[in-house]
A and B are shown apart, each in its own frame.
Chain A
Amino acid sequence: MTIRDIRDAVRSRARSASDVCRETFERLERTEPSIGAFNTVTREQAVARAADIDRHFDRWRNAPLVGVPIAIKDNLCTRGVRTTASSRILEAFVPPYDATVVTRLESAGAVIIGKTNCDEFAMGSSTENSAFAPTHNPWALDRTPGGSSGGSAAAVAAGMAPVALGSDTGGSIRQPAAMCGVVGLKPTYGRVSRYGLIAFGSSLDQVGPLTRTVYDAALTLGVIAGADPADATSTPEPVADYVAALSGDIRGTRVGVPRALVEQGVDHEVSDAFVQSLNVLASRGATLVDIDLPHAKYATPVYYLVATAEASSNLARYDGVRYGYRAPGVKDLRSMYTRSREHGFGAEVKRRIILGTYVLSSGYYDAYYLKAQQVRTLILRDYHHAFERVDVVAMPTSPTPAFRLGERVDDPLQMYLGDVFTVSANLAGLPAISVPCGLTGGRLPIGLQLTGRRLDEVTILRVADAYEQEAGWWKERPAL
């Protein structure tokens, strides 16, 4: 079921919000044991909420997400519901407030069904860095769902929720969407409020939806986008009617293809599916244009210097004083800090804190952090120049399909290299979407990524929707 199907059924009273809620948890109970998409399931609250919507139906009838079940990544604060960021250090944290996106979803009639697993503090590309358990890819249970929003992607792919929220700092919505065969949208930096999102890389983080269809992504974005006085980086620019933009007409739309970038180090089945998807776009009347993004090849190292620097600063707040884990039996303040952090953080989080602290430290700041920020400017300029000639930029979302659980866990650098096509949109603050564009011979999903101009979600959604309608990959489901 898509959001659109559920909303229409509830709105026309073919089904009640309570019917939808009951069916959702029946399916979740059957499916979740083999997937492990959720850290917390909020069945009781969801049932009560659905009943409330049914009881006051006249008030909710026209709400854009009336009765729609939604899963929320566990790094978005939910008032009264445990929010862990999949970290031991926040294992018992119960936020006293809701993230702005959560408030907006509930105001739109959505029913929250639970909190999804992710890499600890959203640091990772496989969801294996969760302090609790890895999530399994619904298409192949011995493979990762990607990450860091792997629980959100798996929940949607397995049909446990028609929509889930994720967060994307370097590809954490788009890459798991690609690996699980669903749609994932990272909005323009500033388009969606970050208030209540547990911070990782504050100049890169953005919240967005994972859905079955582009229509559903457009609908959800319309609900969560907009200015928020609680987030100084949220923009007052007006929110477009994203659903109305899905005209299906992409005649004359110029699609840029950075050939030099996408012809190296890409799995051949991914490469074949990408070329096929370009042919589909051309058959719908889009114009393919070769472009050059000369600095995009530096995006991965630049990203890992900038993101870890910001992370080391953001994670300084976990000190055992105000919330989160405090190591027992410590004798002084300093050892309370150091031992709480030693026990509370996992290996990847420590790795990034150390790297980030190193690149910010005296003597290395200019060589690493400042240099990375300068190259970030060049990456941004490359896109700026490209968008003088094209309307969207097309790339594969990930150079490989989903990899096996455990395959990259001992090789952090190998894991980082998989982010090559996603990180530059975060560095440049641009909107980008991943849409299913094929299956490998072994039935593993492949994603097509479309990146747009700043605040031009309308164009990437229109192109992605036209592609989806023509190619039809969204109808493929995993055999669970």
Chain B
Amino acid sequence: MLAFAMPAGITREEVVAIAALAELDLEPAEVERLGRELGDILAYAEQVQRVDTTGVPPTTGAAAGLVGDRADRLGPSLAPSVALANAPEPFLDGGLFKVPRVIGS
């Protein structure tokens, strides 16, 4: 028995909505193709739903038990000019990354 109702595929609208969450623009042809491919992949992933996981905790990482906390110490960091060296639009004097206008137009 399935624990959840599975979608038959992903609709065009869903792909567009998910792409917006991911800050991705997609060409119309890409939307069509992704909807189809993701439907296939999710149909395949549906088998995971058949596994009984009652009372099973999730594994969120693989380092459990191998690492401890380290001391929280200040260390050297990149100079502003170095940190800005790869910026598409650096503002070196201010030590800032410039971006298009956010508020108003």
Contact = CB atoms under 8 A, between A and B. Distances in A.
Interface of A: 92-94, 96-97, 188-190, 203-204, 229, 232-237, 295, 298, 301-302, 304-305, 312, 316, 319-326, 330-339, 341-342, 345, 347, 350-351, 353-355, 357-358, 361, 366-368, 370-378, 380, 412-413, 416, 426-429, 454-455
6 contacts: A345-B24, A357-B21, A361-B21, A375-B53, A376-B59, A454-B66
A330 B100 CA distance: 8
B45 A357 contact: no
A203 B58 CA distance: 13
B58 A378 contact: no
Contacts of A380: 59
B48 A371 contact: yes
Interface in B48-99: 48-49, 51, 53, 56-63, 66-68, 70, 75, 78, 82-83, 85-89, 97, 99
A204 B60 CA distance: 10
Nearest to B31: A354
B18 A331 contact: no
Nearest to A235: B66
The 10 nearest A-B residue pairs measured at CB: A429-B62, A373-B58, A323-B86, A326-B88, A189-B62, A374-B53, A342-B25, A235-B66, A367-B4, A301-B45
Contacts of B41: 304, 355, 412-413, 416
Nearest to A301: B45
B70 to A, nearest CB: 6
B88 A341 contact: no
Interface string B19-31: 1011111110010
Contact of B30 (A190, A304, A350, A376): A350
Nearest to A339: B25
Chain B, interface size category, equals: 35 or more
Contacts of A336: 99-100
Contacts of B68: 236
A298 B48 contact: yes
Interface in B1-45: 3-4, 6, 10, 14-15, 18-19, 21-27, 30, 34, 37-38, 40-42, 44-45
Contact of B48 (A302, A331, A347, A351): A302
B18 A358 contact: yes
Contacts of B88: 320-321, 323-326
A353 B38 contact: no
Among B18, B47, B48, B86, the one with the most A-chain Cβ atoms within 10 Å of its Cβ is B48
Nearest to A371: B48
Given A96-B78, A355-B41, A350 B26 contact: yes
B24 A341 contact: yes
Nearest to A203: B61
